[in-house]
Every structure is written in structure tokens, then in C-alpha cells.
Amino acid sequence: MHATVCDYIADLVQNSVEAGASLITLEISTLPEKIEVAVSDNGKGMNSETLRSAVDPFFTEAGKHDHRRVGLGLALLKQTAEAVNGSMKITSQPEHGTEVGFSFDRRHLDTPPPGDIALTLTGLLTFEGDYELKVIRKSLKDEYRISRSELIETLGSLEQITNIALTKDFIKAQEENLLQ
């Protein structure tokens, strides 16, 4: 089990980036009784056989890591969702993309804490590559949206340390406002 919900989110978005997606949408809702997360991408997708194996901890997609057998992300997520009275769902279509959604019951004792959402989102915006990440972030009270393209348009390269630090401050301010 990962330490925080953010770790699962980071894992899913990193999968999307590695699947060659040019558009990734991430929605995170923190509600009093549950946390809901949905990630969808237009990456290379999986056929039904691969999809079935994707949650198997002993499976990894050949080619993604030649000669190695790694790939625990989805398996960890499934295990946790089952352990904390939550749910998870994956749908995928080859050449079209993948959607993964999960929900954890916050009242369950074993549900991991949310983690640092601002820091996680900052990290997810700075992977190598040319991809768009749209974030929709909701609480019971409010919501905000940010996209990688508008941040790059505003700041310039998101690999520059000063811009990464500004991105983190910016998202932190949005989070504080959201959870006030």
C-alpha cells in the first residue's frame, strides 16, 4: 500500500505519460466521506487481455520495460481499493486511451491520508515530454481548474526551477482557497 492517496495519483498520471498520451485529464474530488480520482488519457491504450493482466502484480507490459518484470502501480491500487471499502475501475481501448477511476472511503481506518496535493500536481506537470495535463480539483465547497499549457504560456518552461517553485506556490494558494 502506498503511503498517501497522492502516491496513487502520481502513479496513474505517470502511466499515462509513459503511454505516450498527448492529453491527460485528472479529476480529484475530496469530499468529507470519500476521495474520488479519475484519470483519462489518449495514450496507446490496452486490449482486453492486457487490461485483465494490468492489475496482476506479476505482469508488466512487454516493451515498456524490456527484460524486466515491474509494474505494480495498478495492482497496488486495486489492493488498496479493496482493503478500504473503496472501488476502482479501468476501461481502455487500444490506440484510443485509458480511463482509470478510483474511490476510497475516508471513514475507513486503513484509508491512506490524502498527502500533499499541491506538491503532487506540481510534480505531475514537470514530466519530460510534450503533453497536456488538465486538472479539475473539487471539494464540497468549490473547485478550480488548471492546465499545463496555460501554466507554460504564463511562466515559460516548467523545467526551470524558479517556474517550478512558482507553480507550487500557485497551486498551494488554490488548494488553500479550496479547503478553507
Residue 9 and residue 121 in contact, taking contact as beta carbons nearer than 8 Å: no
Q: What is the rounded CA–CA span in Å between residue 73 and residue 80?
A: 11
The grid coordinates of residue 98 equal: 485509458
Question: CA–CA separation, 60 vs 84, rounded Å?
Answer: 25
* Contact characters 79-118, other proteins, x per CB under 8 A: ------------------------------------xx--
Q: Which three cell numbers stand for residue 83?
A: 482493503
- CB of 38 or CB of 179, closer to other proteins: 179
Q: Which of 65, 89, 96, 107 binds other proteins (CB under 8 A)?
A: 65
Site for other proteins in 22-61 (CB under 8 A): none
Cell 478510483 sits at which residue?
102
- Give the gyration radius of the chain's Cα atoms: 16
How many whole angstroms separate alpha carbon 60 and alpha carbon 42? 20
Q: Would you mind telling me the total number of residues written for the chain in this entry?
A: 180
30 vs 120, beta carbon nearer other proteins = 120
> 35-48 burial, b for 16+ CB within 10 Å, e for fewer?
bbbbbbbbbbbbee
Nearer Cβ to other proteins (33/68): 68
Distance in Å, CB of 179 to other proteins, minimum = 12
Query: Minimum distance between the CB of residue 33 and other proteins, rounded to whole angstroms?
Result: 26
Inter-residue contact 69 to 58 (CB < 8 Å): yes
Q: Residue 3 Cβ, how far from other proteins at the closest point, in Å?
A: 8
Size of the site for other proteins (CB under 8 A): 49
Binding site residues, other proteins, CB under 8 A: 2-3, 6-7, 10-11, 14, 17-18, 65-68, 70-73, 76, 115-116, 119-120, 122-123, 126-128, 150-151, 154-157, 159-166, 168-170, 172-174, 176-177
